[in-house]
Amino acid sequence: MPINISRIMSWTFRDLRPYLRGMALATRTGRRPSITRTLWDSSVGKKTVMAVSGLIMLAYLVVHMLGNLKVFFGPEELNAYGHWLRHMGEPFLHSHWGLWAARIVLIVSVVAHAVSAYQLSRRDLKARPVAYAHKRRRAGYATRTMRWGGIIVGLFIVWHILDLTTLTVNERAWEGHPYQNLLATFSTWYGNTIYIVAMAAVALHVRHGFWSAAQTLGAGNARRDKTLKFLAHALALVLFAGFVSVPVGVMTGVVS
């Protein structure tokens, strides 16, 4: 049997390691906190929370966009789809339970995403307190659009829920009839403007966000970079086109 010297050496030195460490360096390995603590306390871990919650919301957006396209097949189809959403999982689940389960996942995601975005942004701004006298526009473009875009999307989510879920600000507010309510929203200039601006913000956010999440979760590498960037652009474009087709459909009279 061949003798593997390095193997023996590495075993020997593995046994010596605590002593070497104790002598030379104070490492932080002694008291290791829980996984949750480690994640939340680290900038890399908090970014992971942001990436996972972002991807959950992204998956939801794709499904939501596909569902919205039913508007082009008439009021019965969209309203029936809305009805099904409320009764998802029946008869096993009580009515609305399936819907609420989805809502809870989304609420947790939005809160986790926004809180980590806020805390990380605070940390980032503090880490660079003095700006350069010589200004360059390039630096931080993506970061700034992500922060402002994120805030716009956040405000939109609030408005959107008040408009089409609780119907608080909807002019028609006909419960159980999403098709008619949606028509009401997109018959107003502000309804269209808010919606289209927000969708542009979502698209920009997804464009940097999807690729970023891949890096944060360690899925990015030089070989995959082009594919990931392409996917990010494609997702952004498809989401934008899909969502915006609805108000455009109403404005052009295709949906009425």
Partner 1 sequence: MKLTLRVWRQQNADAPGAMVTYEVDGVSKDMSFLEMLDTLNEDLILRGEEPVAFDHDCREGICGACSLVINGDAHGPERTTTCQLHMRSFTDGDTIDVEPWRAAAFPVVKDLVVDRSAFDRIIQAGGYITAPTGSAPEAHATAVPKADADHAFEHAECIGCGACVAACPNGSAMLFTSAKVNHLNVLPQGAPERETRVLDMVATMDDEGFGGCTLTGECATACPKGIPLPSIAAMNREWLRAVRKGPRRP
Residues that bind partner 1 (CB under 8 A): 5-6, 9-10, 13-18, 20-21, 25, 27-29, 32, 35, 38-39, 41-48, 120, 123-136, 138-143, 146, 208, 211-212, 214-222, 225
> Please, which of residues 106-135 interact with ligand HEM by CB under 6 A?
110, 113-114, 117, 121
Interface region with ligand HEM, contact rule CB under 6 A, candidates 53-61, 90-98, 189-197, 220-228: 53-61
Residue 77 CA to residue 178 CA, distance in Å, equals 11
Q: How far is the CB of 203 from partner 1 (least distance, A)?
A: 18
> Rule CB under 6 A: is residue 57 a binding residue for ligand HEM?
yes
Residue (of 104, 186, 212) closest to 178 by Cα position: 186
Burial class (CB in 10 A: 0-12, 13-18, 19+), 179: buried
**C-alpha span between 72 and 65 (Å, rounded):** 12
Q: How far is the CB of 172 from ligand HEM (least distance, A)?
A: 26
Among 88, 102, 151, 200, binds ligand HEM (CB under 6 A): 151
Asked if omega into 75 is within 30° of 0 (cis), the reply is no
CB of 10 to partner 1, least distance (A): 7
Interaction of residue 242 with ligand HEM, rule CB under 6 A:
no
Q: Supply 182's token pair.
A: 């949606």
- Binder among 49, 146, 198, 246 for ligand HEM (CB under 6 A): 146
Stretch that binds ligand HEM, among 7-15, 33-41, 50-58, 74-82 (CB under 6 A): 50-58
Using the minimum distance from each CB to partner 1, give the nearer residue, 134 or 175: 134
Closer to ligand HEM by CB, 124 or 171: give it. Answer: 124
Q: Return contacts of 113-121, CB within 8 angstroms, 24+ apart.
A: 113/49, 113/50, 113/53, 113/54, 113/57, 114/150, 114/154, 116/46, 116/47, 116/49, 116/50, 116/53, 117/50, 117/147, 117/150, 119/46, 120/43, 120/46, 120/47, 120/50, 121/147
Cβ atoms 98, 89 nearer than 8 A: yes
- Nearer of residues 186 and 210 to ligand HEM, judged by Cβ: 210
Smallest distance, partner 1 to C-beta of residue 101, A:
27
| Contact code string over 195-214 relative to ligand HEM, x by CB under 6 A | ----------xx--xx-xx-
Work out the number of other CB atoms within 10 angstroms of the CB of residue 137. 6
Dihedral Cα 233, 239, 241, 242, nearest 10 deg? 150
Q: What is the CA radius of gyration of the chain?
A: 25
Interacting residues with ligand HEM (CB under 6 A): 47, 50-51, 54-55, 57-58, 61, 110, 113-114, 117, 121, 142-143, 146-147, 150-151, 153-154, 205-206, 209-210, 212-213, 216
